[in-house]
Amino acid sequence: MENQVQISGRLTFLGTGTSIGVPMIGCGCEVCHSADPRDRRLRCSSLIETQGKRILIDCGPDFRAQALAHGITRLDALLITHNHYDHLYGLDDVRPLGNTPVYGDKVVLQTIHQIMPYCFGAHKYPGSATVELHEIEAFKPFHVGGVDVLPLPVTHGHFDILGYRIGPLAYITDASFLSEETFTALQGVDTLVLNALRITQHPSHFSLAESIEAAERIAARRTFFIHFSHDIGLQAQTERMLPAGMFMAYDGLQIEW
């Protein structure tokens, strides 16, 4: 038992829906009209609380509603996976949180400069968001206080984005392919969060069967799927088809480790 650190934490799923959300505007399907609150999914984001730090992964257009619902009034770090609208374009709403350290790859940081130019430079607009940008790279670990974070490359269609490993937890969204290096870096993960868009295949997102296959290879003790479209079916029905130790996350679900 030399030098063993007891790590514990909590993850709250703030949103588990795909880019368009569930229900989808104007859709008449049974999922979009379900009475089960678990079938209502905001855009993907999760809050991790560990070692006294509050770390948010992704900040999509539902961030304001998610922050109000879960009492988020400050963040020690905001980790961005990629620059798609559903993962980044709620960033302006961190304004009331004060200084917010944001971590992303070069493309993400360039996008932030493009969409919020008024937050930077000598003529920063009074009252605009204060975001402190940190450029990160795949496989180069960094620290948020005492929390070690390892960015992992994940292929999303035809470009590489980032997933994150934080101790026993790994969070991967919008993946359509994982390299051997990423599988190796995921060895020993206890709790895996992984995207599973729908039942049928898609060019830039794992289908449910592809996610299950990747999750079986990673072999975490438990896996929670996220980033669902309405085509995934009803939570109550689809979850029953999953292998042991695999679950469909839903908005508001909290897990601890």
CA atoms of 184 and 49, how far apart (whole Å): 25
Under the binding rule (CB under 5 A), the answer on residue 40 touching Zn ion is no
Taking CB under 5 A as the rule, does residue 93 contact Zn ion?
Answer: no
Among 58, 62, 93, 174, interactor with Zn ion by CB under 5 A: 174
DSSP SS3 for 106:
helix
Q: Which stretch binds Zn ion (CB under 5 A): 85-93, 103-111, 162-170, 247-255?
A: 85-93
Residue 27 as a binder of Zn ion (CB under 5 A): the answer is yes
Asked if 210 is part of the footprint of Zn ion (rule: CB under 5 A), the reply reads no
- Going 21 to 22 to 24 to 26, the CA torsion angle's sign is negative
Region of 12-20, 117-125, 139-147, 241-249 interacting with Zn ion (CB under 5 A): 12-20
Site for Zn ion contains 32 (CB under 5 A): yes
Which CB, 167 or 230, lies closer to Zn ion? 230
CA distance 108 to 80: 7
Closest distance between Zn ion and the C-beta of residue 184, in Å? 24
Number of residues that bind Zn ion (CB under 5 A): 9
Stretch that binds Zn ion, among 30-38, 97-105, 110-118, 234-242 (CB under 5 A): 30-38
DSSP string of 204-256, one letter each residue: SS--HHHHHHHHHHHT-SEEEEE-B-GGG--HHHHGGGSPTTEEE--TT-EEE
Among the listed ranges 1-9, 82-90, 124-132, 208-216, the one in contact with Zn ion (CB under 5 A) is 82-90
**What is the DSSP secondary structure assignment for residue 199, as one 8-state letter?**
S
Residue placing its CB nearer to Zn ion in the complex, 167 or 210: 210
φ, ψ of residue 222 to 5 degrees: the values are -145, 145
Query: What is the closest distance, in whole angstroms, from the C-beta atom of residue 182 to Zn ion in the complex?
Result: 17
Phi and psi based region of residue 51 (left: phi greater than 0; alpha: psi -120 to 50; beta: remaining): left
- Order of strands across the sheet that contains 191-195: 142-144, 147-156, 159-166, 169-172, 191-195, 222-226, 246-248
214-243 residues near Zn ion, rule: CB under 5 A: 230
Phi, psi of 85, deg, nearest 5 = -50, -45
Q: Which stretch binds Zn ion (CB under 5 A): 2-10, 20-28, 206-214, 247-255?
A: 20-28
Q: Are 88 and 111 in contact (CB under 8 A)?
A: yes
Choose between 9 and 227: whose C-beta lies nearer to Zn ion. Answer: 227
Specify the residue, 58 or 93, whose C-beta has the smaller distance to Zn ion: 58
Q: Which of 39, 58, 62, 86 binds Zn ion (CB under 5 A)?
A: 86
Retrieve residue 117's tokens: 């130019």
Min dist CB 57 to Zn ion, Å, is 12
Q: Which residues bind Zn ion (CB under 5 A)?
A: 19, 24, 27, 29, 32, 84, 86, 174, 230
